[in-house]
Amino acid sequence: MNNSEKIIWTRIQQKDAEAFESYYKEHYKSFFLMAYKYLKSEVLAQEVVNDVFVKIWEDGNKMLIESSLKSYLYKAVINNSINLLNRQKRERQNRQELKYRSTDSYELRDMEENEMKIRIYTAIDQLPLQCRKVFQMSRFEGLKNQEVADKLGISIKTVKNHITHALKQLSKSISKSLVLILIIIIEIFIMGL
């Protein structure tokens, strides 16, 4: 470091705002152009240069600079620019991976849901006709037991028996977890109507 740089650096380390501002104004453009060469963005180049200068202002008294101050700052600008590019690259990769995972996961859930629906509807189709009607009116149309009984001209006790029978048959045809999911889906379906 030459004598004039040593004097400026010592003043900056001692928090001499005038020396700091003068050095900043004198060299900002060349540091900015160096950062811009890497980042291809004015905003990011400004951020990098300003971050480097803030760092030497805040931590200058702890820094040991053996080469020239200007060389040190060039290296800092270049390193910060490269670090920023690497961070942006990792963030893009993480976003892409997250997007891929969520799309993949969504497709898998969609396939599982479709498979489950096929099992459920197949099991419902295997119910006796009257039992199927009662079950569909109760669960898919959201009718109360009395409404089903009135529409079909049967007793409320018969409606309850048909629903009980349907649920037993469904639980035999598909796993218990699917029956629970069926009940949840039906409840959601009814609420959505």
Residue 87, domain CATH:
1.10.1740.10
Look at residue 21 in the predicted model and tell me its pLDDT. 93
Residue 101 lies in a domain: no
Boundary (domain end) residue, out of 53, 74, 94: 94
CA dihedral 7, 3, 69, 37 (to 10 degrees): 120
Residue 135, domain CATH:
1.10.10
> What residue numbers bound the domain in which 51 lies?
3-94
Domains: count for the chain: 2
Look at residue 121 in the predicted model and tell me its pLDDT. 81
Same domain, 63 and 146: no
Task: Please give the Cα distance from 135 to 163 (Å, whole number).
Answer: 6
Same domain, 137 and 186: yes
Residue 42 lies in a domain: yes
Residue 169 lies in a domain: yes
pLDDT 10s digit of each residue in the chain, 193 long? 788 888 888 898 999 999 999 999 999 999 999 999 999 999 999 999 999 999 999 988 888 888 888 999 999 999 999 999 999 998 888 887 776 665 555 666 677 677 777 777 888 888 899 999 998 898 888 889 999 999 999 999 999 999 888 888 877 766 655 556 666 666 655 554 4
Residue 116 lies in a domain: no
With residues binned 3-state (H G I as helix, E B as strand, rest as coil), the percentages for the chain, rounded to 5, are 85, 0, 15
Categorise residue 78: left if φ over 0, alpha if ψ from -120 to 50, beta otherwise.
Answer: alpha
The DSSP symbol for 178 reads H
Residue 188 lies in a domain: yes
Same domain, 17 and 66: yes
Residue 22 lies in a domain: yes
Same domain, 83 and 138: no
Task: Please give the Cα distance from 178 to 171 (Å, whole number).
Answer: 8
Residue 107 lies in a domain: no
Boundary (domain end) residue, out of 48, 74, 94: 94
Look at residue 79 in the predicted model and tell me its pLDDT. 95
Backbone φ and ψ of 16, nearest 5°:
-85, 100
Boundary (domain end) residue, out of 51, 72, 94: 94
Same domain, 20 and 89: yes
Task: Please give the Cα distance from 80 to 89 (Å, whole number).
Answer: 14
Q: Structure pTM?
A: 0.51
Same domain, 78 and 36: yes
Same domain, 138 and 88: no
Residue 24 lies in a domain: yes
